[in-house]
Structure 1
Amino acid sequence: MEQPIDISQVVRTTGLSARALRFYEARGLVRPLRTASGRRLYGAGELARLHRIVTLKAAGFSLADIGRLLDRRPVDLAGLIAAQLAALDDKAAEIAEARRLLQSVQSRIGRGEPLDVATLCSLIRTGDQTMTESNWKAVADRYFTPEEKAEWAARMPPSAEFDPADYARRWQELGGRITAALPLDPGAPEAEGFVREWFALLEPFSRVATPDMWQKSAGLYERMPEWEGQADPGFSSEVWRFINDAATRMRAAGKDVGPLPAHLTAGAEPQRVGTGSAPA
């Protein structure tokens, strides 16, 4: 029987970082042995789990789905694979659309049209905006009634006070930084910083959200794997789950997460995070 190896040897043999290994342990995906001094030791079984995690993650499965598969919990494998294939198809469509936009710009350059960076960004944004608005409407129509969407629109700040394009850009920027930091322990100080940034950015919605709006928003993003790739909120379902986990921990510990709607303030039990305003 092979002897267990420590975390430094696992890093060398798998190429995973020590931070990734600790994050997978925090999520319950691996369970290394511990010596009396607290040193982690990985046996053959845990090394096999790590290789499966890497393989499934490369195929695009979420950590939650990977956990269910590895622990052999009841799962609709055919449905899970079908959903992942649909997400990959959507991603392929996005890549094809990006290629189309860039080829269009390239043809303008080939015709001798003077294009600077500002013009390039404007052309790309115009194409993306048309696609994104249409996709968000399709997603919203699946999860919200016309009456709910009308109430949402009526409660959000007027366009003179609120720039939707800039707001979407800020979600993209924050989501990108969180993605780059993952895997990350939801209890780490860096995670708490991300949570406070998240709720600060969420404030325009938190300020006007009714309890029903907040719950419907949270429900929409909990079901994000159903529509991920069809519309882009600026972050992935993995980022949303990470923020939700980190925020729940903070609130359970009595820590300030940032601006919250009135029904979630002092005395309320920790609930789902929710996120930015629902698509119109």
Structure 2
Amino acid sequence: MGTLSITDVCRRTGLSARALRFYEARGLVGAQRSAAGQRRYGADEVARLHQVTVLKRAGFSLAQIGALQGDRWLDLDRLIATQLADLTARRASIDDALAGLRAAQAALTADATIDIDTFCALIRQGEKTVTEQTAAWQKVVDRYYTTEDQARWREKMGALPSGFDPAAYQAKWADIGSRIAAALPLDPASDAAQAYLTEWNALLKPFNMAADARMRTEVFALYERMDEWSTETTPGFTKAVWDFIKVAAVARG
């Protein structure tokens, strides 16, 4: 194949230009330069980028990836096989969830009573999904926070009001995240944008009640680096939504 521009790579991979520049600054991925000084990516550069993304999904930190890569090529066949195995397992899990939900929907459409086995299957699938999401988040947390940091967070978050439901809270973030994403682009100073910002800030209240200034700074820094981990898990909103909220806050003054 020929070379690709940074825009082409972003469009084909789903990565952001910021992520590509960040990987380049860390020495993980190189880029050729055109006569005009623009970044161009050939087969070798794209293959190297694939190595980085596969290793990130496997839970390696960027420092570990750099050490693994060095100046040598890794076994791409093995990396692809690993990724295939991971995706196949995820597909099986998704297929199970879809089958259970479709069976329940079909029963409800036919005004039938859902049998106990279907209910149990739905509960089991839901628990499995939560477990997988928790494990994915833990990998991200372990990458950016020390054991001492995590202990401090657990202590502080223990001050949340009794009856606080983390799953319901996360669902609210997913809801507002999807609604903002669907509304973009928006003028950050518009009434609609400012209404989203007000709702966002209201949703932050439980966290702000328990967190100290250091924790708020740490969370902001983590979300600023979403390009590094957003392919592994999600807080319920995309980097584009996060960037929108920041500019909407600036517009409010």
Q: Determine if the TM-score, normalized by the shorter chain, exceeds 0.5.
A: yes
> 1:92 & 1:187 partners in 2: Cα distance?
44
CA distance in 1, matches of 2:198, 2:87: 30
- Spell out the pairing of 1:215-226 with structure 2 (5 A cutoff): 215-226=217-228
Look up the match of 2:123: 122
Amino acid corresponding to residue 60 of structure 1 in structure 2: G
After TM superposition, the structure 1 = structure 2 runs for residues 172-191 of structure 1, keeping only pairs within 5 Å, are 172-191=174-193
Query: Which 10-residue stretch deviates more, 117-126 or 197-206?
Result: 117-126
Q: 1:99 aligns with which of 67, 92, 95?
A: 95
1:165 is matched by which residue type in structure 2? A
SS at match of 2:235: coil
Partner of 2:33: none
1:83-109 C-alpha deviation (Å, 9 max, x unpaired):
67767x788875553124335777999
Displacement of 1:144 after TM fit?
Answer: 0.7
Secondary structure of the structure 1 residue equivalent to 2:210: coil
Q: 2: CA distance between counterparts of 1:189 and 1:91?
A: 42
| Structure 2 SS opposite 1:202 | helix
TM-score by length of 2: 0.60
Q: CA deviation at 1:133?
A: 0.9
Q: Deviations over 1:128-164 (max 9, x none)?
A: 1010111111110111111111111111234733111
User: Over aligned residues, Cα RMSD in angstroms?
Assistant: 4.1
- Residue 14 of structure 2 is matched in structure 1 by 60
Aligned equivalents of 2:192 and 2:8: distance in 1?
24
**Inter-partner Cα distance in structure 1 for 2:237 and 2:87:** 14
CA distance 1:167–1:91, shift in 2 (3 Å): farther
The structure that is helix-richer by fraction is 2
CA deviation map 1:141-200 (0-9, x unaligned): 111111111111111234733111111111111111111112222222211111111111
| 1:74 CA displacement | 7.1
Q: How does 1:1-280 map to 2 (within 5 A)?
A: 56-57=10-11, 59-62=13-16, 95=91, 97-103=93-99, 114=115, 122-156=123-157, 157-158=159-160, 160-251=162-253
Residue aligning to 2:65: none
Secondary structure of 1:207 counterpart? helix
Q: Is the 8 A contact 1:178 1:194 kept in 2?
A: yes
CA apart distance, 1:73:
7.1
Aligned twin of 1:22: none
Contact preservation (8 Å) 2:100, 2:121: no
Identity %, equivalent residues: 32
Measure the CA separation in 2 of the matches of 1:93 and 1:236: 24
Q: Is contact 2:97-2:122 (8 Å) kept?
A: no
**Aligned CA distance change for structure 1 residues 229 and 115 (closer, same or farther; 3 Å):** farther
Tell me the number of residue pairs that the alignment of Structure 1 and Structure 2 aligns.
Answer: 195
1:211-254 deviation digits (Å, cap 9, x = unpaired):
21111111111111111131221111111111112112212xxx
* Structure 1 CA distance for aligned equivalents of residues 89 and 241 of structure 2: 22
Aligned to 1:6: none
Using the alignment, how far apart are the partners of 1:159 and 1:118 within structure 2?
Answer: 30
Is residue 194–residue 248 contact of structure 2 (8 Å, CA) maintained in 1? yes
Gaps in structure 1 of 5+ consecutive residues: 1-51, 252-280
Length-normalised TM-score, structure 1: 0.55
Compared with structure 1, are the counterparts of its residues 179 and 58 closer, same or farther at alpha carbon in structure 2 (3 Å cutoff)? farther
